[in-house]
Structure 1
Amino acid sequence: MGHINNKYYLGFEGEPEIIFTVVQKNNEKSEISIWSGYFNNIMQQITPVEGKWTALAYYYNLNIGWYDESPWLVDNIEDAYKQFKSIDKYKLDDLEEEILEEILELFKKSIEENNNVYISYE
């Protein structure tokens, strides 16, 4: 069993949902469920690199990856972490900033512990 944090999806049941799942080496899972509107606002703060989308923003902006297959393995956690880290949190509202911090912590811990991170779109 694992831990599911659905705090950022409560009240939006029935609307699109993004779920980040961390799978630890012992197959223990922890998840964070986010209303897609919050996730979209956060992702829209990531800017292209030299005019091109890279890493997680590439998949988001082309509507591929987790949109095609769920759960979808994030293939380069470090680059995704750097993209989230580059976001100007002052362009987000308080709740979106809190969600960004949760995502950053999830990716940072996954990097440190060499865990896999999956994204699901439901």
Structure 2
Amino acid sequence: MKSEAINDLYYVGFEGEPEIIFMYEKSNEVQVLKLWNGYFESLLDCLVQQAPVQDGILHEYCVHEGWYEESPWEITNVEKAVQLFKSFDVKKVTENESSNIIPVLPAITMDIIIFLEQAIQSGNRVFIVYE
């Protein structure tokens, strides 16, 4: 049985609410980054304003497929996902987003990038689980 290394910093206080889980297996351990879905969807809403919605995570979000339909859902191009999250610019966020969420988005984005880059470095497949 594999142990889990869980980072749930962005889910604490939202227990019972919908969650998004990024995960990959590394040796005998499952690496997990758990987020409150409200943070993740706010981040994606901001990215839709800043990046083209062609394929990948933004496309799946806009058409409500991917992790919404099948969970776990594999991020097939992790490098492209990293580039998407690196393109996030909090200075370009409009006031339409909830003001108490905006200050947290840069830290969440950085943790997602670090998580995905670690998965790339260890040569592992990354999945998103929606619960």
Contact 2:56 2:75 (8 Å CA) reproduced: no
Equivalent in 105, 108, 127 of residue 118 of structure 1: 127
1:22 paired with 2:29, answer: no
Q: Give the Cα separation in 2 of the matches to 1:118 and 1:42.
A: 18
Deviation, 1:84, is 0.7
Q: Give the Cα separation in 2 of the matches to 1:115 and 1:78.
A: 12
Deviates more, 1:84-93 or 1:33-42: 84-93
Equivalent in 106, 112, 122 of residue 103 of structure 1: 112
What is residue 86 of structure 1 aligned with on the other side? 87
1:32-89 deviations in whole A, cap 9, x for unaligned?
Answer: 111111001111122453xx43211111111111111111111110111111111113
Query: With structure 2 as the length reference, what TM-score do the two structures score?
Result: 0.82
Q: Would you say how many aligned residue pairs link Structure 1 and Structure 2?
A: 119
Q: Which runs of 4+ in 1 moved over 2 A?
A: 89-94
User: What are the ranges of 5 or more consecutive residues in structure 1 without an aligned counterpart?
Assistant: none
Deviation, 1:28, is 2.0
Q: Give the Cα separation in 2 of the matches to 1:27 and 1:101.
A: 25
Deviates more, 1:79-88 or 1:38-47: 38-47
What is residue 67 of structure 1 aligned with on the other side? 68
Aligned ranges 1:31-70 → 2 under 5 Å: 31-47=32-48, 48-49=51-52, 52-70=53-71
Residue 121 of structure 2 aligns to which amino acid in structure 1? E
Deviation, 1:27, is 4.6
Percent identical among aligned pairs is 36
User: What are the ranges of 5 or more consecutive residues in structure 2 without an aligned counterpart?
Assistant: 94-100
